[in-house]
């Protein structure tokens, strides 16, 4: 498939820019990013919602969103090319100077270590974390199920390299998959995800709120049709 090869070349080119160390002094504003999709007369549209919260008080600081027609189809491994352009437009509407972004999807846990969170992180040149609700198998490697206790985790090691981890964000609840995006390390990513996860959801608060906002806007757009 010609299109997919273009994406792979672009990912391989970006690969060498990934930063695996913390590049921040303090975290004040954290943004959660999520997209929702719907159709209008057979034309697919996407809504990107970004919700910024205060890392300590967890209060919502700002919400931004951007809707656009979809131009790129979804191909496993190439998700970022579909979602990053729309995310960047929504991000332009943000007034808050965000310290860290959390994406709904993988970062380093990707065939070329270039998932959504990493791709966006390199463009933003800011710290990002990828949090996926489902496992995206790389090189036929399975993950080890962590203990059913909040905070338990197992690193996902592929060919001797740590791609990310499976983290139990809530006791007795299906685990999530955490990986670095850019300008951050995995240990810190895990700590932050745990800090932002409570009994309301197994997903960290910023992305959970972004998910709710994106779907709220989608339902409104669908009833207007």
Partner DNA sequence: GCGACAG
Partner DNA sequence: ATCTTGTCGC
Binding residues for DNA, per CB under 7 A? 34-38, 74, 76-80, 104-106, 110, 115-116, 130, 132-137, 214-215, 218, 222
Nearest distance, CB of residue 181 and DNA, angstroms: 10
| 35 vs 101: CA distance, rounded Å | 14
Nearest distance, CB of residue 62 and DNA, angstroms: 21
Quick one: 190 or 218, whose CB is closer to DNA? 218
Three-state SS for 199?
coil
Quick one: 25 or 127, whose CB is closer to DNA? 127
Per the structure block, which two tokens stand in for 31?
């943004």
CB contact at 8 A, 80 and 69: no
Quick one: 29 or 108, whose CB is closer to DNA? 108
Quick one: 89 or 137, whose CB is closer to DNA? 137
Indicate the DSSP class of residue 126: S
| 213 vs 225: CA distance, rounded Å | 19
Nearest distance, CB of residue 131 and DNA, angstroms: 8
CB contact at 8 A, 129 and 101: yes
Nearest distance, CB of residue 44 and DNA, angstroms: 9
CB contact at 8 A, 32 and 54: no
């Amino acid at each position: 498939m010609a299109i997919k090869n273009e994406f792979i070349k672009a990912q391989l080119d970006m690969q060498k820019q990934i930063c695996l160390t913390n590049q921040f002094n303090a975290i004040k504003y954290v943004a959660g990013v999520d997209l929702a999709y719907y159709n209008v007369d057979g034309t697919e549209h996407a809504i990107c919602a970004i919700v910024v919260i205060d890392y300590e008080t967890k209060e919502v600081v700002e919400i931004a969103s951007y809707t656009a027609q979809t131009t790129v189809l979804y191909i496993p491994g190439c998700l970022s090319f579909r979602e990053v352009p729309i995310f960047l437009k929504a991000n332009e509407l943000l007034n808050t100077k965000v310290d860290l972004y959390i994406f709904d999807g993988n970062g380093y846990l990707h065939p070329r270590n270039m998932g959504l969170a990493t791709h966006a992180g390199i463009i933003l040149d800011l710290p990002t974390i990828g949090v996926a609700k489902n496992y995206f198998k790389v090189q036929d490697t399975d993950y080890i199920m962590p203990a059913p206790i909040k905070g338990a985790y197992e690193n996902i090691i592929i060919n001797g390299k740590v791609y990310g981890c499976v983290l139990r964000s809530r006791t007795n609840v299906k685990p999530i998959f955490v990986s670095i995006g850019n300008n951050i390390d995995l240990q810190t990513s895990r700590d932050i995800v745990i800090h932002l996860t409570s009994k309301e959801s197994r997903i960290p608060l910023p992305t959970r709120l972004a998910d709710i906002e994106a779907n709220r806007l989608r339902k409104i757009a669908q009833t207007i049709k």
